[in-house]
Every structure is written in C-alpha cells, then in structure tokens.
A = this chain, B = another copy of it.
Amino acid sequence: MHRLLLLIIPLLGFATISVSSAAQNQKEKTMPDNSPNKKFALVIHGGAGVVSRESIPEADAKLMQQDLNRALDAGYAVLSRGGPALEAVTAAIIVLEDSPWFNAGKGSVFNAEGGHELDASVMEGHTRRAGAVAGVTTVKNPILLARSVMEKSPHVMLAGEGAEKFADTQKDIERVDPKYFDTEKRWQQLQDAKAKEMAELTHTVQGTYFGTVGAVALDQQGHIAAGTSTGGMTNKKWSRVGDSPIIGAGTFATDKCGVSGTGWGEFYIRAVVAHDICARVEYRGDSLALAAEDVINKIVPEMGGDGGAIALDKDGNIAMPFNTGGMSRGWINPDGTRGTAIFRD
C-alpha cells in the first residue's frame, strides 16, 4: 500500500506540472527538471582505506563484491520499477549494513570502550530534506533511523541517547542487543589498535575507516538521493563524531548532484567534502568528474587527509575517486552496464 502511494505521488506531481506548464505554453522550457527522464543510475561504496591487494585474501574480496552486487541489485530493483532515489539508497545501504564485511551495522568497528557507536545520514536532493543520527547503539539499521529523523521528526540530526529515545518512538525501527554488531575480526582490530596506542603513546586515528558504506541514486523522475552509514573509527574515544552523519561533509544531495564520502572524517568535515564537490559543479560549471577528482585527490591530501567518495549528477554521470590503496565500490550506469571493484583495476 505504502509502495503504491510512493509510486502514485510522483505521477500526480508530474500530472499537475504538466497541466500548468501547458497552460503557460512553456512546456519545453519548464518540463525538464520534473519530467520522468527514464534515465537512472546507482553508485555505492563499501569504504576507502589504507589497504593493499595482499591484505585482503582473494576469497574475502570475492565475498565482499558479492555483497556489493546484492546491494546494487536491491537499489536497482527500486529504480527500474520507477521508485524514488531515496528508497533505492536506503535499500542498497541496508544490504551493506547487514553484511559483516563492512564497517556499518553488523560488522561495525569497536570504540575504545569495546562498544559500538553507529552514525548515518541521508539526504533527498530535490526537497533538500535530510536526516542524521550519531552514536546510536541498538539500532540494527542506522540508515533507517536517519530516514525516520528526516521524515518523522522536526529535526535533522539527533545524537547518542537522545537518538535512541527517538528510536523508541518509532515502531518500524528494528532494535538489537549491542552484541549483534560484534565480529571477531573487528575485535582483533581493536586489540591491535590498543597495542599500537600503548606502544606509540598516541591515539590511533588513521587508516582504520575502511568499510564505511554509502549510496547515491538517480531515479526515473530525475531526482537524486545520497546516504552514508558507518561504525566510525576503531578505538574511537569521547563520542567522536566523524563526517558520515554530517550533512555537507559525508553526505549531500541537490537536484543536480549527490555525494557520499568515505575517508578520514576529520579532514572530510574541515573540507566540507560532499557539499564542496556539488558547489564546484553548480557554481563553477566543473564536470562532476573534475570536481570530485579535485576535492578527493587535491584538497583532502593537501590538508593531510585521505579517503574517497562516490558522486552522481543529474545526467547519470558517475565519479568514484579515491586517494587510498582501495575503495570497494559498485555502479550501474544509465545504459545498464555495471561493475564492482576494490582496487585500481
């Protein structure tokens, strides 16, 4: 029933605009932004990071790409039946959150206290609506809670216990025992980080963020949405907030451009990465590829940070730059061609 409504609403919107445009006799001029363009595309990431081909066994890489493909399928199913970009982004990210291979939902890294604090955000371009949560501990799919903040609260961002209390008011948000997020691999990474911290007397922050997930979609109505979800940094302290739940830094979308970032969050916040990529496209007329390339491969490294991003524009152009050893990623172009990759292939 809900799905049906979602399908009908854009059609109604289209009908209304079509009539009023016809009345003004400016059909060609006023139509493009709202007409179904039938062109749709999807790009996802499972995180950029300091990884080498040798550090990931081939069997693991295969399983990772299998889950990237399942996420692409989930998002593509929505887009191909004419569903909204927001729905496609959510569907793709849920698959990646539920997969233990990525640092989001199940498989999230451990913080310094041996727990998990999850961050997520989502934004819908044409309405500029957005929702975000930081530091949630019992929500199975933080991307869904971020979407609920957007759709069912007067706020954009909720943090920590407050976000949990808001989740208590949302019947459709699945809750889990925090142990659900545990995986042996992440526990070992925490022990390694703590040992390194003891040895170097310094708090480890770099290179442990491989695994953040995100998606950007363009739907048949020409609308763009973007979302990001993460467990943050291994051994993080003091309820550190990274870029993933920050609109403008880790996630941003307009009706022309959408971005999801994955990298050393502190630099992504300072560089306002996601908004900066879209601002270069909008204000300077840079191509999406150039804008994404400049921000990820010039601005961020010049500041001392690293990472990657996925970006998509209204024509379905896709950019996936990264300045790290790898970035797990998947894409379906407007012509239907698709792929997944982890390294610079």
Contacts and interface: CB of A to CB of B under 8 A. Distances in A.
Nearest to A161: B239
B265 A248 contact: no
A205 interface: yes
Contact of A159 (B241, B249, B265): B241
A159 B247 contact: no
A215 interface: no
Count the copies.
2
A131 to B, nearest CB: 10
B134 A241 contact: yes
Nearest to A206: B154
Interface stretch (A8-16, A274-282, A314-322, A337-345): A274-282
Contacts of A252: 272
A134 B135 CA distance: 12
B128 A239 contact: no
Contacts of A160: 135, 159-161, 239
Interface in A135-170: 135, 153-163, 165-166
A125 to B, nearest CB: 11
A246 B134 CA distance: 13
Given A134-B159, A239-B158, A248 B275 contact: yes
Contacts of A270: 123, 128-130, 156, 247
A130 B241 contact: no
A303 interface: yes
A135 B156 CA distance: 15
A241 B240 CA distance: 14
B266 A156 contact: yes
A269 interface: yes
Nearest to A242: B157
B283 A279 contact: yes
Nearest to A121: B269
A53 interface: no
A203 interface: yes
Nearest to A162: B239
Contacts of A276: 275, 279
Nearest to A249: B248
Contacts of A162: 135, 237-240
B275 A272 contact: yes
Interface string A228-256: 00000000011111100011110010000
A284 interface: yes
15 contacts: A123-B270, A129-B270, A135-B160, A153-B238, A155-B238, A156-B270, A162-B240, A165-B238, A246-B246, A246-B247, A247-B249, A247-B269, A252-B272, A279-B283, A283-B284
**6 closest Cβ contacts across the A-B interface?**
A162-B239, A162-B238, A279-B279, A283-B283, A248-B272, A248-B248
Given A161-B239, A248-B248, A248-B272, 17 more contacts: A128-B303, A134-B241, A135-B159, A135-B162, A155-B240, A156-B269, A157-B242, A157-B269, A159-B159, A159-B239, A162-B238, A163-B238, A247-B269, A248-B275, A275-B276, A279-B279, A279-B280
